[in-house]
Structure 1
């Protein structure tokens, strides 16, 4: 199918830790990247499971990523996905294309109990797999993200543009709430609620637009983040609230994501 992609329609959330005297309270949204980066010479091992269903089709993906903090404001990463797609024609599975990523935090301001920061990011899907699920293209993703975090409240704004096979614009507005402020040595819980929007142009084949591609979708996405020292678990679900897809495309029933992060 021409419009199937191994690069997920939601970008992998890239989380990290920030150590402050008041508390550990740096988190990123679940369904989009936030502005946080690793500490200098730090490593992050990141695993995730993503599943989406739309009509008679389902798409499951497992991925493992490794990230490295070049400086306290600049991180690079590499990710390897494995994908399983089921539709009316049967089931396909295989190793997806490798993804390379980098993020640079260009602004940060700390005040008592509050941190604001902003970052730019680039992600590139390589044409590295020989499996049937590969798209045989190199796809870049460009993005900007801003975050406001206090000891209790979180706010994120993020947008990015994926080029290839129809330009895409993703928008994510996320807010989080911590009901109880704990010490670093104790487990920490943050509840999240995101609003995710997708604006997708039609794909083209030999210069001609494909009718059953492109359109707009909006999701409401509740989630939870559990952290303990240098470990974090995230889980969330995207629930469609508005869908305006072109032609005959199955509408999303839901998308679910679970992630595990370990910082070294």
Structure 2
């Protein structure tokens, strides 16, 4: 092949590979530090299920991200289905993807980044977002908008990854009704098996163990605390990420390790999630 044709092709492949590497090693349920490159877009279509002893159904969410510059990313997440969300647990469908039934806009700022050697990064990020109101409880009370703040720090190399983070979601009262405030912490450890450590276009898969701890305050209905709401959950489980050029696919599940819920509430069976990503 003519060299004048090879150079543009090689350059395009390098751009695609660098795009996937820059954002493509994030977890499904936990907080992570990577941001998109300047001018880069991403599309994440997520399918999630929060199953309890009373059943559950799949919810679909769409997340669009844009890299304002290499350390600042804007994100808009919204539901793609209009099903009733009143019985969904007071939790985030994923730390980065927001409440299952709400529209959320957020900014992710990577305020610290260092590379002590080639292929190794240590970095920290802040996440701030606002979400619109939702419904909750068996009688579909209206919930006010919410503010979300979180911080995360971590390490990434060609072999291993880890992130530790935590945040909170605070809700505004709406006509005497108020969703309980939520605080949470996440921990993620990732491993890239030797067979998948080659460069693009070789297949690239990463394995993760993720854990999420949540504490929700009681909801308030007509100004009174709901005895059958709020409590503590600790969940953990595996997830996997596969990268194919500008495409990515992630799948994972969390199971309850410990659960202390107030009053009479159905216990958690599992949380499952499947996400398809495209970078452009």
TM-score, reference length from structure 1: 0.82
Residue equivalent to 1:168: 182
| Residues 57, 85 of structure 1: 8 Å contact kept | no
| Residues 144, 159 of structure 1: 8 Å contact kept | yes
Q: 1: distance between equivalents of 2:180 and 2:206? A: 36
SS at match of 1:58: coil
Q: CA deviation at 1:206?
A: 3.4
Task: Deviation per CA, 1:41-79: give whole Å up to 9, x if none.
Answer: 111111000012111231421011211111111111212
Q: 1:80 to 1:64 in 2, by over 3 A?
A: same
Name whichever structure is richer in strand by fraction: 1
Residue equivalent to 1:125: 131
Q: 2: distance between equivalents of 1:133 and 1:251? A: 20
Residue equivalent to 1:152: 159
Structure 1: runs of 5+ lacking an equivalent: 1-16, 89-94
Q: CA deviation at 1:144?
A: 0.4
Matched, 1:189 2:188: no
- Aligned residue pair count: 238
Q: 1:179 to 1:134 in 2, by over 3 A?
A: farther
Residue equivalent to 1:11: none
| Residues 57, 87 of structure 1: 8 Å contact kept | no
| Residues 24, 243 of structure 2: 8 Å contact kept | no
Question: Which of 174, 177, 192 is 1:178 aligned to?
Answer: 192
1:1-264 alignment runs, 5 A limit: 19=18, 27-81=25-79, 82=81, 84=83, 96-110=101-115, 111-127=117-133, 135-164=142-171, 165-180=179-194, 181-264=197-280
Structure 2: runs of 5+ lacking an equivalent: 1-15, 88-99, 172-178
Name whichever structure is richer in helix by fraction: 2
Q: 2: distance between equivalents of 1:240 and 1:83? A: 27
TM-score, reference length from structure 2: 0.78
Query: Greater CA radius of gyration, 1 or 2?
Result: 2
| Residues 50, 255 of structure 1: 8 Å contact kept | yes
SS at match of 2:243: strand
| Residues 171, 197 of structure 1: 8 Å contact kept | yes
